[in-house]
């Protein structure tokens, strides 16, 4: 059977346990050499009736899920594949309630599944920078993510809104290369030091840099060909604009307010990773290609429920979230 290209075909394709298993194996070991995820030995024995291997190097059993985001999950790969297809290809995201209804799992299980799948979409950038000189053009902009008081019940509004303006919102910065990819990150505030440190971290010196008239960007002209568009006057000045990032923010906020309804600050970076992945792979890539790219990133990553809920504290923006008790919800 030909590999799927639509959600309907994906459901039918992955409903066959053997076909689903073969697909996962071909992605994990594309050269056909099955190796143990614990000791990396390729000397093993395959137990066909249980679809597991017995490693001769460490004498331990392993499955195709070991050492991936699917590790220790009792759910079949058919459910995982379908949920991942939806997450990779639904433009405004997919909620845990929708996955719960579509796959017949509990909402709590669907919530945990989506958190693990978003980990696979995370990109660490590996120290690379946008731009290689004045011919490259990069936009920088920032926004605030948070709940809208007018949409909240009075009791929730009293609990969550403790001040005016942006006090109870999270600042997020975006950097977009024209014709290329976007990168996002949470920042403590819109103050000069934090924003300019992010720019220097992700953009090569000498690049044409476009921003709005926020005073925090003043001083970047010493390292970049920095030009400003004042939104109080106009939104486009020749090639100078931040409309690419404005488009990205609209997609992000539409997903958060429309699909997810509410996002806690300590999980916000996961939703940024999700939207960034879809945005960066939106062109010249079909649903099947986007899904396969996401599946190729599931290996070597792990997220447990105790880490996710803060019972086991770990660094932010790695394989686990920070504790809920240490954060203020939207």
In DSSP notation, 108-150 reads HHHHHHHHHHHHHT---GGG--B-SSTT-EEEEEEEEE---GG
Distance CA 92, CA 253 (A): 9
The CB density around residue 27, as the number of other CB atoms within 10 Å, is 15
Name the residue among 271, 323, 216 with its Cα closest to residue 96: 271
Tell which phi-psi region holds residue 320, choosing left (phi > 0), alpha (psi between -120 and 50) or beta. beta
Distance CA 177, CA 209 (A): 9
- Give residue-wise pLDDT tens across range 168-194: 688 999 999 998 999 999 999 899 999
- The side-by-side arrangement of strands in the sheet containing 52-55 is 44-47, 52-55, 61-62
pLDDT at 158: 60
- Give residue-wise pLDDT tens across range 85-119: 999 999 999 999 999 999 999 999 999 999 999 99
Q: Give exposure, 218-234, as e/b (b: 16+ Cβ within 10 Å).
A: eebeebbbbbbbeeeee
Looking only at the bridges linking them, the beta strands covering 61-62 and 170-177 are unpaired
Dihedral Cα 17, 23, 29, 33, nearest 10 deg: 60
Tell which phi-psi region holds residue 163, choosing left (phi > 0), alpha (psi between -120 and 50) or beta. beta
Q: Which domains, and CATH codes, for the chain?
A: 126-263 (3.30.420)
Structure confidence at residue 323 as a pLDDT band (50, 70, 90): very low
pLDDT at 149: 55
pLDDT reading at 327 higher than 60? no
Structure confidence at residue 50 as a pLDDT band (50, 70, 90): very high
Residue 287, SS3?
helix
């Amino acid at each position: 059977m030909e590999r799927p290209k639509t959600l309907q075909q994906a459901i039918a394709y992955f409903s066959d346990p053997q076909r689903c298993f073969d697909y996962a194996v071909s992605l994990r070991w594309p050269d056909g050499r099955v190796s143990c995820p614990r000791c990396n030995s390729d000397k093993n024995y395959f137990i066909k009736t249980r679809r597991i291997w017995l490693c001769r190097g460490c004498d331990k059993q392993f499955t195709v899920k070991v050492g991936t985001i699917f590790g220790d999950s009792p759910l079949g790969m058919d459910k995982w594949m379908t949920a991942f297809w939806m997450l990779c290809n639904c433009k405004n995201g997919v909620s845990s309630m929708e996955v719960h209804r579509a796959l017949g799992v509990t909402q709590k299980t669907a919530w945990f599944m989506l958190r693990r799948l978003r980990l696979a979409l995370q990109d660490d950038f590996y120290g690379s920078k946008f731009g290689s000189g004045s011919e490259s053009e990069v936009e920088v902009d920032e926004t605030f993510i948070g709940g809208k008081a007018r949409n909240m019940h009075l009791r929730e509004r009293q609990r969550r809104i403790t001040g005016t303006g942006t006090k109870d919102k999270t600042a997020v910065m975006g950097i977009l290369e024209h014709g290329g990819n976007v990168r996002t990150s949470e920042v403590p505030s819109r103050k000069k030091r934090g924003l300019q440190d992010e720019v220097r971290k992700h953009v090569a010196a000498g690049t044409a840099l476009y921003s709005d008239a926020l005073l925090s960007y003043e001083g970047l002209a010493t390292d970049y060909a920095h030009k400003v568009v004042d939104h109080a006057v106009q939104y486009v000045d020749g090639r100078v604009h931040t409309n690419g990032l404005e488009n990205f923010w609209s997609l992000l906020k539409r997903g958060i307010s429309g699909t997810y309804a509410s996002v806690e600050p300590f999980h916000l970076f996961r939703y940024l990773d999700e939207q960034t992945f879809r945005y960066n792979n939106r062109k010249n890539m079909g649903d099947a290609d986007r899904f396969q790219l996401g599946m190729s990133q599931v290996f070597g990553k792990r997220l447990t429920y105790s880490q996710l809920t803060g019972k086991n504290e770990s660094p932010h923006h790695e394989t686990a979230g920070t504790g809920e008790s240490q954060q203020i919800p939207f």
